[in-house]
């Protein structure tokens, strides 16, 4: 991961540069990220979480090598050289098996992290912060660090067997849990600088105990809470003054920057300020799939108006039916009923819809929607009504009137503030 090591070195030397990570498994979202990287310059960092992709398939049905093949195939289609594609693993640890006792969960996590590295993933976020069966409710820094070092032994061994560039590591965990907060938010406590230093020191000592001094030199990021988050309907915006002490605390740690999770829906100015303040790795996930949903809903509505209800793909109805038939992925997060629940299912910023795109009937409906749009393109006036930015791009000759291209264009609108924040001298 020389590209990331070089970027961290530039940032620590005073350049306001960073990298954003698209943590998403949907092919259209990945295509958008790859096209954006091709045109904006630099690398595309694509990450999978332990819940999305693991040796058991995760909720996407993909193992690490399958996800790698998906991303690289899409990179070839996008015309982005493979050496500009960086693969990362997010929250790699026992999270997917936390209902099991810690010993069994860690055994499965060890298999998973080795599979990630063997498959070519080289940015590895090791996260053992979650309690497993038999654990106390909250784990100490020492226990988390010891489990992290145990998994790092597995990743280092897998890398030595596989060859290639050595992995770089991110440690620590965010608060609250991945994917957005479950409770309503008004304000968040920024990570205390002393707590951040304690986390770093606990991990350093654990790495030394395990003989992982060389790997410690490749620990590039610490996940902290800079005061950004979102719940179903609200976004807590970054306030630089509140993170000033935390930001300054990293300056005494060579080779390290902060990694900021849940930066979805932050303003362009906030993203630029985060990078400036040493939160140089920006993670985005639900914000990208929220944009995907927005674009597909727009195409669905265009299809209904242009082709009539009888001929339309009825994507929205298909998705809502799939979600109601299997509430597994949204039930713990949404409490509404009737019309209120319909709004939460569709428009929550936590975007639980992202779990349903791989299901058979939903995936087929998306394909029908795009095929029908391409076979019988609507008048541009309808595109202007529901996708005005795409309409302007089509009129300018920068975008084809194709369903998939319109979706990708809309997602790229979400990614533009990230690429600008991470290279603030850029004019793209």
**Residue 8 forms part of a structural domain:** yes
pLDDT greater than 50 at residue 243: yes
| Nearest CA-CA partner of 106 in 142, 161, 152, 65 | 152
Which pLDDT belongs to residue 1? 77
On whether both 261 and 331 belong to a single domain, the answer is no
Are the C-beta atoms of 21 and 47 separated by less than 8 Å?
yes
On whether both 314 and 369 belong to a single domain, the answer is yes
**Residue 66 forms part of a structural domain:** yes
On whether both 360 and 376 belong to a single domain, the answer is yes
Which pLDDT belongs to residue 186? 60
Q: How many structural domains does the chain have?
A: 2
| Nearest CA-CA partner of 324 in 316, 365, 293 | 316
On whether both 397 and 271 belong to a single domain, the answer is no
Domain span at residue 280 reads 2-284
**Residue 426 forms part of a structural domain:** no
The interaxial angle of helices 403-422 and 268-276, nearest 10 deg, is 40
Q: Which of 284, 304, 323 is the last residue of a domain?
A: 284
CATH code: domain of residue 62: 3.20.20.70
Q: Which of 284, 319, 354 is the last residue of a domain?
A: 284
On whether both 159 and 25 belong to a single domain, the answer is yes
Q: pLDDT band for position 174 (50/70/90)?
A: low
Separation CA 94–CA 126 (nearest Å): 10
Q: Which of 252, 284, 316 is the last residue of a domain?
A: 284
H-helix segments, 79-192: 102-118, 141-162
On whether both 77 and 226 belong to a single domain, the answer is yes
Separation CA 88–CA 399 (nearest Å): 30
Q: pLDDT band for position 185 (50/70/90)?
A: low
Weakest mean pLDDT among 213-227, 291-305, 307-321, 399-413? 307-321
**Residue 425 forms part of a structural domain:** no
**Residue 208 forms part of a structural domain:** yes
Separation CA 359–CA 361 (nearest Å): 6
Please, which residues have CB within 8 angstroms of residue 134's CB and are 6 or more apart in sequence? Answer: 101, 102
Separation CA 189–CA 348 (nearest Å): 23
Give the Cβ contact number of residue 169 at 10 Å: 27
| 376-380: long-range pairs with CB below 8 Å, 24+ | 376/306, 376/307, 377/401, 378/302, 378/303, 378/305, 378/306, 379/306
**Residue 427 forms part of a structural domain:** no
pLDDT tens profile 211-235? 999 999 999 999 999 999 999 999 9
Percent of the chain past pLDDT 70, that is, above it, reads 96
On whether both 40 and 116 belong to a single domain, the answer is yes
Across the chain, mean pLDDT equals 94
CATH code: domain of residue 395: 1.10.400.20
From residue 77, how far is each of 21, 26, 31, 425 by CA, in Å? 20, 15, 8, 29
On whether both 248 and 385 belong to a single domain, the answer is no
**Residue 205 forms part of a structural domain:** yes
On whether both 261 and 130 belong to a single domain, the answer is yes
**Residue 422 forms part of a structural domain:** no
Which pLDDT belongs to residue 110? 98
Provide the 8-state DSSP code for 62: B
On whether both 297 and 233 belong to a single domain, the answer is no
What are the backbone angles phi and psi of residue 302, rounded to the nearest 5°? -60, -45
On whether both 241 and 321 belong to a single domain, the answer is no
Q: Let me know if 135 is exposed, middle or buried by CB neighbors in 10 A (0-12, 13-18, 19+).
A: middle
| Nearest CA-CA partner of 88 in 319, 320, 259, 251 | 259
Backbone torsion region of residue 282, taken as left when φ is above 0, otherwise alpha when ψ lies between -120 and 50, otherwise beta: beta
On whether both 194 and 306 belong to a single domain, the answer is no
């Amino acid at each position: 991961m020389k590209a990331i090591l070089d970027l961290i070195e530039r940032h620590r030397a005073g350049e306001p540069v960073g990298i954003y990570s698209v943590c998403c498994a949907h092919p259209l979202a990945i295509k958008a990220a790859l096209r954006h990287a091709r045109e904006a310059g630099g690398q595309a960092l694509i990450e999978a979480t332990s819940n999305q992709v693991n040796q058991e398939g995760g909720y996407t049905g993909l193992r690490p090598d399958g996800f790698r093949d998906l991303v690289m195939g899409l990179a070839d289609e996008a015309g982005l050289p493979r050496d500009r594609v960086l693969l990362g693993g997010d929250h790699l640890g026992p999270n997917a098996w936390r209902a099991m006792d810690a010993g069994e969960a860690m055994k499965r996590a060890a298999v998973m992290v080795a599979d990630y590295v063997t498959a070519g993933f080289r940015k590895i976020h090791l996260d053992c912060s979650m309690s497993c069966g038999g654990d106390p409710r909250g784990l100490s820094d020492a226990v988390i660090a010891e489990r992290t070092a145990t998994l790092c032994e597995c990743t280092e061994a897998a890398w030595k067997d596989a060859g290639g560039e050595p992995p770089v590591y991110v440690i620590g965990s965010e608060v609250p849990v991945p994917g957005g907060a479950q409770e309503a938010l008004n304000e968040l406590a920024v990570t205390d600088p002393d707590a951040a230093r304690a986390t770093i020191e606990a991990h350093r000592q654990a790495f030394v105990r395990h003989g992982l001094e060389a790997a410690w030199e490749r620990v590039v990021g610490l996940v902290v809470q800079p005061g950004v988050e979102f719940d179903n309907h609200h976004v807590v915006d970054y306030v630089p003054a509140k993170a000033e002490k935390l930001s300054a605390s990293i300056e005494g740690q060579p080779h390290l920057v902060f990694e900021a999770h849940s930066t979805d829906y932050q303003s362009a100015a906030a993203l630029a300020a985060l990078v400036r303040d040493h939160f140089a790795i920006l993670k985005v996930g639900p914000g990208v799939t929220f944009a995907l949903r927005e674009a597909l809903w727009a195409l669905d509505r265009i299809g209904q108006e242009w082709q009539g209800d009888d001929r339309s793909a009825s994507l929205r109805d298909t998705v809502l039916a799939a979600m109601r038939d299997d509430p597994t992925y949204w039930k713990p997060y949404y409490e509404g009923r009737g019309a209120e629940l319909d709004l939460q299912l569709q428009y929550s910023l936590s975007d639980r819809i992202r779990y349903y795109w791989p299901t058979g009937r939903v995936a087929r409906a998306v394909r029908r929607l795009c095929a029908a749009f391409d076979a019988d393109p609507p008048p541009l006036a309808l595109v202007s009504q529901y996708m005005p930015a795409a309409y302007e791009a089509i009129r300018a000759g920068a975008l084809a009137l194709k369903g998939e291209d319109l979706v990708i264009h809309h997602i790229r609108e979400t990614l533009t503030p990230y690429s600008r924040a991470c290279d603030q001298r850029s004019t793209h």
